[in-house]
Amino acid sequence: MVCAGPLDELVMRKVGFSDFTIANLTGDYADQRQDAEDLTYDEDSFDTVIVHAGLHHCRSPHRAFLEMYRVARKCAVAFESRESLRLRDAADAQKRLRRGIAGGCRG
């Protein structure tokens, strides 16, 4: 989980997950300090990458979501309660990436 905190860890354990990593820029509760916009993990490092109420804190939410997608083998999941144009841009960027169009360039 990126941009995660103690509540996220509690929820993950309560729903039955035992093998997960909590990453955040700050806080003693994080397993690893990571910038969601520039994750240091290799591609396909995790089955699933989750962010809960964290993208709206990012300077570039679409960059953070693309990083999550890069390090996820199966999927990247975002739970955000603050709908915004920036988050819609992140979803559009993911769609372009899946179609092979990244940054306005065709692959």
Contacts of 16-22 with CB under 8 Å at 24 or more apart are 21/46
In a domain, 1, yes or no: no
Give the Å distances, CA to CA, from 104 to 38, 76, 107.
20, 21, 10
Which pLDDT belongs to residue 100? 63
Count of domains in the chain? 1
In a domain, 98, yes or no: yes
Model confidence at 105, pLDDT cuts 50, 70, 90, reads very low
Q: At what angle do helices 61-71 and 85-98 cross, to 10 degrees?
A: 40
> In angstroms, rounded to a whole number, what is the distance separating the alpha carbons of residues 95 and 4?
24
pLDDT in tens, 49-83: 999 888 888 888 889 999 999 999 999 998 887 66
pTM for the complete prediction?
0.72
> In angstroms, rounded to a whole number, what is the distance separating the alpha carbons of residues 3 and 24?
5
In a domain, 54, yes or no: yes
Residues 6+ apart with CB under 8 A from 22: 1, 4, 5, 8, 9, 29, 30, 31, 32
In a domain, 19, yes or no: yes
Helix or strand or coil: residue 73? strand
pLDDT in tens, 3-57: 888 889 999 999 999 999 999 888 777 889 999 999 999 999 999 999 988 888 8
**Residue 75 belongs to what domain range?**
6-106
